[in-house]
Amino acid sequence: MGVELARVTVVGADLEPVYESLVMPDNRIVDLNTRFSGISEEDLEDVHTSLRDVQPVLLSLFTDKTILLGHSLESDLLALKLIHSTVVDTSIVFPHRMGLPFKRALKNLMAEYLKKIIQDDVSGHDSLEDATACLQLMQHKLKDDAR
């Protein structure tokens, strides 16, 4: 029991979705935490995709050399029950001033570095918005570091 995967979103370098799927958790859903997840009961009504269905699709998209980029990726990989060592994590690249275990919120990083407001919808997070935000942050950092 605990936190389980309910949505997977992968974007490519062009910020376009490569793969996106809702996932029916294995265990009984106690709280969808819609305010944060953006997933409602209605969203999952006709979903029959399981974690076991998603894993081979993702593994067909990645190799061990593929760089996975995200924010607090350890949580995502844990939920996916995957191990991958080639990662760029924006929560590490843009550290909290007090150091670990503190992490800066993706929403705050986007506001500070790119002057963009994300995660502002009352219906919860949009995983596509979050995924593209991570990529935009890293593109910004690479350009900034190159100057």
CATH of the domain at 50: 3.30.420.10
Report how far residue 130's alpha carbon sits from residue 125's, in angstroms, rounded to the nearest whole number.
8
Is 15 contained in some domain?
A: yes
Is 2 contained in some domain?
A: no
**pLDDT, tens digit, for every residue of 80-128?**
999 999 999 999 999 999 998 999 999 999 999 999 999 887 767 789 9
* pLDDT value, residue 3: 78
Is 1 contained in some domain?
A: no
Is 101 contained in some domain?
A: yes
* pLDDT value, residue 21: 96
For the chain, the DSSP string reads ------EEEEE-TTS-EEEEEE---SSPPS---HHHH---HHHHTT----HHHHHHHHHHH--TTPPEEESSHHHHHHHHT-----EEEHHHHS--TT-TT----HHHHIIIII----S--TT---HHHHHHHHHHHHHHHHHHHH-
List all residues 6 or more positions away from 91 whose beta carbon is below 8 Å from its beta carbon.
71, 72, 73, 103, 104, 106
For 74-111, give one letter per residue: b (16+ CB within 10 A) or e: eebbebbeeebeeeebbbeebeeeeeeeebbebbebbe
Is 11 contained in some domain?
A: yes
**Full domain range(s) for residue 74:** 7-146
Task: Indicate whether 37 pLDDT > 90.
Answer: no
> Domain count of the chain?
1
Task: Indicate whether 145 pLDDT > 70.
Answer: yes
